């Protein structure tokens, strides 16, 4: 169980993301203005070993003509993750835990394992800012095949593609027979009824949650999907 400490972080998460976001291939801004970020929601998952913080974070950028909500999953570690310098968002100082290394979670194997568990119904989403408090508003479903059946052991993962559509993660499982299963982490959040969001026929798995816009209206849509053609990333664009 992750314990949520309500403390000051130096620098803050939004500070780190303000400088990091414009360099990402899925960033929708023009680069002419610095992002103007505010928290928009999200949730957490627990690391079974209690070592890594896992947060699905939604942030709203109000720097453009209309607000854009980004999904930036983050992991927080007490020491650098070997081989993940390219995924480092930055470092911060936590008043209780000390220095923390903050990573783009799509490149962190602990995040990927727990995202897979969430899709399979073996991990419970937690409230973003409360300790030991499940978040029932987060829903997930996965029409699993033999390659990714509930309980199938995850033996490896890697980011297969990172582009305007989002970040595709290829998973290898102990029962895989026809290639890796792909999970797409959606980076720009769209309401489920939006034409740019994947419909039920295009996906066979999803993690869906809420977020807020600056005017107080609520959006709801997929934070991550498993394309209907699990071996082909293009199915859920």
- Gap between the Cα atoms of 102 and 80, Å rounded: 9
Instruction: Give me the pLDDT at residue 151, please.
Output: 57
Residue 214 resides in a domain: yes
DSSP secondary structure code for residue 109 in this structure = H
Q: Phi, psi (5° rounding) for residue 108?
A: -105, 120
Residue 216 resides in a domain: yes
DSSP secondary structure code for residue 106 in this structure = G
How far does the chain reach from its first CA to its final CA, in angstroms?
35
Residue 2 resides in a domain: no
Q: Write out pLDDT tens, residues 149-169.
A: 555 678 888 999 999 999 999
Instruction: Give me the pLDDT at residue 98, please.
Output: 76
Residue 210 resides in a domain: yes
Regions of the chain short of the pLDDT cut 70? 1-10, 31, 95-96, 144-152, 176-179, 193-201, 229-237
Instruction: Give me the pLDDT at residue 232, please.
Output: 44
Instruction: Give me the pLDDT at residue 169, please.
Output: 96
Question: What are 156's strand-pairing partners?
Answer: 172
Number of domains in the chain: 1
Q: Write out pLDDT tens, residues 63-106.
A: 888 899 999 999 999 999 999 999 999 999 876 677 999 999 99
Residue 4 resides in a domain: no
Domain ranges, residue 166: 9-231
Residue 138 resides in a domain: yes
Closest Cα partner for 104 from 88, 85, 82, 116? 88
């Amino acid at each position: 169980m992750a314990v949520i400490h309500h403390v000051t972080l130096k620098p803050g998460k939004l500070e780190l993301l303000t400088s990091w976001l414009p360099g990402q291939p899925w960033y929708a801004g023009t680069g002419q203005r610095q992002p103007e970020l505010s928290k928009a929601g999200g949730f957490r998952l627990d690391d079974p070993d209690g070592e890594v913080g896992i947060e699905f974070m939604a942030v709203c950028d109000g720097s453009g003509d209309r607000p854009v909500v980004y999904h930036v999953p983050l992991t927080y570690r007490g020491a650098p993750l070997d081989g993940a310098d390219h995924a480092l968002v930055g470092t911060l100082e936590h008043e209780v835990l000390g220095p923390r290394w903050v990573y783009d979670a799509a490149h962190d194997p602990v995040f990927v394992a727990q995202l897979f568990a969430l899709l399979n119904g073996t991990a419970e989403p937690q409230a973003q800012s409360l300790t030991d408090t499940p978040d029932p508003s987060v829903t997930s479903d996965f029409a699993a095949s033999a390659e990714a059946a509930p309980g199938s052991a995850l033996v490896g993962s890697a980011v297969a593609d990172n582009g305007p559509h989002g970040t595709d993660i290829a998973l290898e499982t102990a029962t895989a027979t026809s290639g890796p299963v792909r999970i797409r982490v959606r980076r720009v959040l769209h309401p489920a009824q939006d034409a740019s969001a994947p419909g039920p026929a295009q996906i066979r798995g999803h993690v869906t949650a809420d977020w807020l816009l600056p005017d107080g209206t609520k959006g709801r849509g997929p934070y991550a999907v498993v394309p209907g053609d699990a071996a082909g990333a293009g199915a859920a664009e």
